[in-house]
Amino acid sequence: MIAYTLLILLVAAERLAEVALSRRHLAWARRRGGVEYGRRHYPGFVAVQAVLLTGAPLEVWLLHRPFVPALGWPMLTVAVLAQALRWWCIASLREQWNTRVVTVPGLPLVDRGPYRLLRHPNYVAVVAEGVALPLVHTAWLTASVFTVANLGMLAVRLRVENAALRQAPPAEAAQSAR
């Protein structure tokens, strides 16, 4: 259980690094006229992530969930791969990556990295991690609650993102207006 708690703490530290990077990128976007969409749903996203990172270790400790190697090792592999995909997304988006929904006038849609293959690859990572991370140590209640809550939040988030992308001026129009 101690190793699992350390794993969760590492993921939490990774989230803090993401938040710091996101703040820098948000400032970058705002200096370039970036427009934020869907602010009201953002606290819900943060709360759902908190459920994952607090619920999983609490469930393991309080309900004495065992580590089952046949489940735990594959789920750890999925969780690590989800982190790799998340950071591939961040690296591909560069300064345009953010935990919020922000469009910057004049910037084209990113079509490199995993965005060549999927429109929203980061959410694949979020869903995979949300299932896998709790199941590393059989915290199936947390995996279930997080998955349902996360899918609800993703439904909202995808509507907001897709609307923001439709409302953003095309890169060519914004560049020719300069």
Containing 157, the helix (H) or strand (E) segment is: helix 140-167
Over residues 64-98, the pLDDT tens digits come to 999 999 999 999 999 999 999 999 999 999 999 99
End-to-end CA distance of the chain: 58
The CATH architecture annotation of domain 2-169 reads Up-down Bundle (1.20)
DSSP-derived secondary structure letter, 72: H
Contact (Cβ atoms closer than 8 angstroms) between residue 150 and residue 123: no
What confidence category does residue 26 fall into, taking pLDDT thresholds of 50, 70 and 90?
very high
pLDDT in tens, 123-144: 999 999 999 999 999 999 999 9
Instruction: Please check whether residue 166 is in contact with residue 101, taking contact to mean a CB–CB distance below 8 angstroms.
Output: no
